[in-house]
Amino acid sequence: MSVLSNKKISLALDSGSAKGMAHIGVIETLEKKGYEITAVAGTSMGAVVAAYYCLGKLDVLKAWLTGLNKKSTFLTLDFSLSGGFIGGKKLMQAFEEHLGDATFSDAKIPLYIIATNLDTGKERIFSEGPIIHAIRASISVPGVMRPYFYEGNYYVDGAVTNPLPVDVLHNNKHKNIVAVHLHEYIEERDSSTAPGVLETMGRSMGIVSRYLAKAKIQEALAVIEPNVAGVDMFHFYQAQDVIERGAKSAEKAVEQGALDSIALKILNTVKEKISDRILYIMKKNQNKNKTA
């Protein structure tokens, strides 16, 4: 059991397509355990969950996803032959229906969404302007979803440059960062059959994300790693199962004390401040005694 009460944390949410639905379960469980989330940074599906949560609409996202079946998933992912398998128009319609013209200033806590500028090759951190455009830019998996043209540039998935944006929170002075990492468990595939195009893209992005995330994760005080092995890129109809996996991983992390490092850091900081204050008062009194 965690030693913290009234706990404040900031969350970095990993990319991962359908695997990213686990973030919903993680957030729900952390809130039930009394953690107060003070900022969220997300990439790709992590950006979707982050946006809905920060706008107070996580329940809307959960209801939408858990209501999908194989047929409705296929219809939502409007397949295209230009620039990617998925056009993205129907997804944007859903985002507009759920989030409207909400901007980052409407978020209840600081929100950061990461995308990759395909023209400059650089990461872009969205933290102002219309949220649905930032989401659409962040989820544009190369070769799978059509690149998103916005403000004069084309954007692809943020996972290309920063799949787990722990550093974004750190650089913006947010404390007690908890990283939710989805790519620790990459299942081995049966090599007796050749992978298809989508499987190749999905596994390749997962492997790249895993290694890029390793470089970022060191700045987190705690890491939660849902086991979402076996969940394929477009299996959004598995929402209930994936959300439950996320919830179980968060429950396990809390019960095993994985987040206690946050408590210890807070306690040590408080102790240091008290010690510094005591030393200051003692020095001040010594100086007074010398001059008396």
Catalytic residue numbers?
44, 157
12-39 as b/e: b if 16+ CB within 10 A: bbbbbbbbbbbbbbbbbbbeebebebeb
Phi and psi (nearest 5°) for 264?
Answer: -65, -40
Residue 42, beta-bridge partner list: 13, 113
Determine the Cα–Cα distance for residues 54 and 37; give it in Å rounded to an integer: 9
Both tokens of 285, joined, read 């009194």
Whether 62 and 122 have beta carbons less than 8 Å apart is answered as no
Closest listed residue to residue 33, CA positions, set 261, 269, 257 = 257
Whether 67 and 33 have beta carbons less than 8 Å apart is answered as no
What secondary structure does DSSP assign to 272-291, as a single string? HHHHHHHHHHHHHHHHHHHH
Determine the Cα–Cα distance for residues 83 and 143; give it in Å rounded to an integer: 7
